[in-house]
Structure 1
Amino acid sequence: MLTGVAAGLIALAGTVSAETLRLSNWLPPSHPIVKDVMVPWKAAVEEATEGRVTVQILDAPLGPPHAHYDLAANGVADVTFSAQAYTPGRFKTAMLAELPFLGDSAEAVSVAYWQVFEERLAAAGEYAGVKVLGVFTHGPGHAFAKGRDLSSLDGIAGAKLRVGGGMANDVATALGAVPVQSPSSKAYELISGGVVDGILFPFESVTFFRLDGLLDQGFEVPGGLYNTSFFFVMNERRWNRLSEADQAAIDSVSGEALSRLAGKAWDEADAAGRSALEGQVELHVATEEQMEGLHQMLDPVIDAKLDEIATSGIDAKAALEDMKARIAAESE
């Protein structure tokens, strides 16, 4: 009996000593970032640390999406994720991953982004108070509309398009559209109510937010009109309290591994989204002539963004060339 009690006390001690990280989540459980990225990452952390560290994905967020960086930095939550564009001007280097024409694969862009972040962008010091666990992007963004002919660029000019901010806002403006900044969760309401004519979105988001029954035209741009960058971070003090062994274990399933996991999830979701639109949305793929027109309108935006990134102390042009080369290598 004493042996059994001792064994129970040892098991209890092991349970009590386990570290639990609270992850604040602001997306529905069915969203690819949650079910295909956060949930697998949680399982990977727990396996890599042999159960010494567990992750609790909270049922309700501890604040709005734009507050999630500060929630981690201030220790309100242990782990958070969000889009850098939700806090304009704060994360200048993230714009490198949001530029037009970067690539057709979220996995390739995300992996290249992490590598360039680690070697070049982190030096800008934009992520104070946190341990950066990963950075990644969603799939390439395209234009979609209701009741407008998107077979030519003229169909975009003058259209009111919902955007999430960041690069998408600048792209919409450069194309002659009127950007309407709003959370993605409001997209259905805005389009069904006629407040906007369309949206800039990746394929996945069109179907996830049930817009396939509202939109009837799409304009697909090879390489994408834009990407949206995301961060995944942990409170720095909380990170420092972990043992070196557990830090190494978490690192082994984060960083490039996490960026690749997220990119793959987006690519699979985009492929499913694109297939779901067949027969419902008339999709126009940009021609060579249209691509030339897009470059004329968007290359100045790219140059302006590179100048802005450079104010963070980064050689922005070298970083972009490095990232393009890594994307090409990943895409082979």
Structure 2
Amino acid sequence: MKLRHLFAAALSTTVLGSGLASAQTVFTVSSWLPPTHTLSTVQKNWCDMLEKESAGRMKCNILPKSVAAPPGTFDAVRDGLADISYTVDGYTPGRFINTQVAEFPFLGDSSVATSVAYQRIYSKYFAPLGEHRGVKALAVFTHGPGIIFNSKKPVTSAADAAGLKFRIGGGNINELSKAMGWNTTLKPAPESFELLSTGVMDGTFFPDESVASFKLSMVKHATTFPGGLYNTSFVFMMNEGKYKGLSPQDKAVVDKLSGEVAARMFGEGWDKVDAASRDMQKSMGVARIAADKAFVKAVMDKQDYLETKWAAAAQVKGLKNPKGVLAEFRAEIAKVK
């Protein structure tokens, strides 16, 4: 009799254990940047928080390599090739319009400030318009202020920049570069080392972080702008079907860790590596100069037209009072601590 009870107890434990295992949700997670890059590490940290907050009901399986090239990542998550990843909106030109508001020059000197403010504006104005339809947008964020880096000479004016070839990441900076008459080519960030080391490009537009992350030892000159020459809009996302399939309890955990929580995590990570890269650039002997008033004005003059052009396109997409939203975004950046 005792043996029969022991067998029944063991069987019950096995069934219960298998029930628990089957109840666990595992997300496949993809990153098109190296595991050491701040976006990869923050994504992993977010996954760790997700597992902890859900008491192990949800966890992540971080894939050893990306399921798609950077420009194809949005569609890869939408189609279920991966459950969670991030991408740059500007890698697919013309697809995302409202998000370009986060890519304009002179927005701010901190990724935390621009990212948190962007998330607030996105939640209030952009999310209801569904521009990221097809995925569950967990958060939006930006990198640190964009800088002109090159291996050839100091860039002290728009004319200096026009004499060089640059890699850019897309978005508003693509339009601004054309308006300025600069020779730029749209390429994903991971291709930068090869482009610069082979001399195909003379430089790249990047935040500070990228000089260290992509080992751009050939960089000798940097030109900074107040609030950055440009910014980049990122979306951190989950497959929509995967999200909808979660229990209400687990959806609540995902929601708790999304929005400003995730945006701030990405921003803090980027600010930290920006600062570390600036120190590294000093040891590399990178000559760093600040754009003068004439250079800044030359950019502003072209950007004024681009903001008007963006406002018209955003209005067609359903955004009411785009110029007012942009002004609110800038004011929100100043509030973020």
TM-score normalised over the length of structure 2: 0.92
Q: Is the 8 A contact 2:107 2:330 kept in 1?
A: yes
For residues 311 and 193 of structure 1, what CA distance do their matches in structure 2 show?
A: 42
Point out where structure 2 has 5 or more consecutive residues left out of the alignment: 1-5
- RMSD, aligned α-carbons: 1.7
263-272 or 5-14: bigger deviation: 5-14
Q: Whole-Å Cα distance in 2 between the matches of residues 308 and 206 of structure 1?
A: 34
Aligned match for 1:222, one of 206, 220, 226 = 226
Which residue matches 1:321?
327
1:308 to 308, 313, 333: 313
Instruction: Report the counterpart of residue 266 of structure 1 in structure 2.
Output: 270
Aligned to 2:48, which of 19, 36, 43?
43
Contact 1:161 1:172 in 2 (8 A): no
Q: Which has the larger radius of gyration?
A: 2
Give 2:62's match in structure 1, choosing from 37, 43, 57.
57
**In structure 1, what is the equivalent of residue 160 of structure 2?**
155
The CA deviation at 1:90 is 1.2
- What is the alpha-carbon distance in structure 2 between the residues aligned to residue 270 and residue 171 of structure 1? 24
| Residue-by-residue CA offset, 1:119-144 (whole Å, 9 max, x unaligned) | 10112221222211111111111101
1:107 aligns with 2:109: no
**2-structure distance, mates of 1:88, 1:176:** 19
- What is residue 133 of structure 2 aligned with on the other side? 128
2:166 counterpart SS class: strand
Q: Which residue of structure 1 lines up, in the alignment, with residue 173 of structure 2?
A: 168
Shifted more, 13-22 versus 259-268: the winner is 13-22
Q: 2:200 aligns to what?
A: 195
Establish whether residue 231 from structure 1 lines up as the match of residue 235 from structure 2.
Answer: yes
2:24 paired with 1:18: yes
Q: Match of 1:167, as an amino acid?
A: N
Instruction: Provide Cα deviations, 1:68-105, integer angstroms capped at 9, x if missing partner.
Output: 21122222322221111111111111101111111111
2:24 counterpart of 1:27: no
How far is 1:317 from its partner? 0.9
- Secondary structure at 1:91's aligned position in 2? coil
Letter in 2 for 1:325: A
CA-CA distance at 1:209 after TM superposition: 0.9
| Counterpart code for 1:236 | E
Tell me the CA shift for residue 8 of structure 1.
Answer: 4.8
- Find the residue that maps to 1:199 and give its secondary structure: strand
Distance (whole Å) between structure 2 residues aligned to residue 298 and residue 10 of structure 1:
62
Q: Which moved more, 1:247-256 or 1:283-292?
A: 283-292
Match of 1:210 in 2: 215
* Residue equivalent to 1:255: 259
Change (3 A) 1:247 1:291: same
Distance across 2 between alignment mates of 1:127 and 1:225: 26
SS in 1 for 2:138: strand
Q: Is 1:246 matched up with 2:280?
A: no
1:156 aligned counterpart, secondary structure = helix
Larger CA deviation: 55-64 vs 108-117: 55-64
Q: How many residues get paired?
A: 329
Say whether residues 1:77 and 2:82 are aligned partners. yes
What is the rounded CA distance, in whole Å, between the counterparts of 2:124 and 2:33 in structure 1?
A: 30
Does the CA contact (< 8 Å) of 1:202 and 1:270 recur in 2?
A: yes
